[in-house]
Amino acid sequence: MLARVSGDNAKGSWFTNGYTYTNKPVACAAALANIALMERDGVVEHARAQADHFAERLRSLSDLPGVADVRSVGLVGCVQCLLDVNRIDPLDEDKAFTREIDQRCFDLGLIVRPLGDLCVISPPLVISREQIDDIVAIMRQAISEVGAAHGLSR
């Protein structure tokens, strides 16, 4: 976008304004190089190979009090946490409950993204099966502890 600069000292100057999708050849080159490395090193295939284990281990959290739903696609997953798992729409209390779980995960060494009533997990594509097991163990501990503090039981 071009805009004419006004005023006595402008001397016919123009001001150019770029957007995030323009004039970014270096960023595009870096992205293409990253994709090439991922393809060369088999990162995508590795992630696909871990996805079933990730989904299976996350689903193992379904038995915990306060867990309403567990779902995943590839290596992105979430655990929906509600104080009353029979309710569909989350309340502010459910969101606070989920934030407590996320904070407890953080205290135990796991970064989980709180998104309303969801604990969202998106590990690196190079994650190992053992690291997936560690993630789920930490989540199990955090959900159990916070749920017990709220008097939840199955």
Give domain limits for the chain. Answer: 2-39, 42-149
CA angle 35, 48, 133 (to 5 degrees): 115
42-149 homologous superfamily? Aspartate Aminotransferase, domain 1 (3.90.1150.10)
Model pTM greater than 0.75? Answer: yes
3-state secondary structure 4-44: ECCCCCCCCCEEECCCCCCCCHHHHHHHHHHHHHHHHHCHH
Cβ atoms of 58 and 121 within 8 Å: the answer is yes
End-to-end CA distance of the chain, in Å?
60
CB contact set of 121 (below 8 Å; sequence gap of 6+): 58, 76, 77, 78, 79, 112, 113, 135, 139
pLDDT for 49 beyond 80: yes
β-strand partners of 114: 119
3-state secondary structure 72-91: EECCEEEEEECCCCCCCCCC
Chain-wide mean pLDDT for the chain? Answer: 90
Cβ atoms of 119 and 138 within 8 Å: the answer is no
19 CB neighbour count, 10 Å cutoff: 8
DSSP letter string, 122-144: ---TT--HHHHHHHHHHHHHHHH
Q: Dump pLDDT digits (tens) for 82-140.
A: 999 988 888 999 999 999 999 999 999 999 998 999 999 999 999 999 999 999 999 99
- Of residues 25 and 108, the one with the higher pLDDT is 108
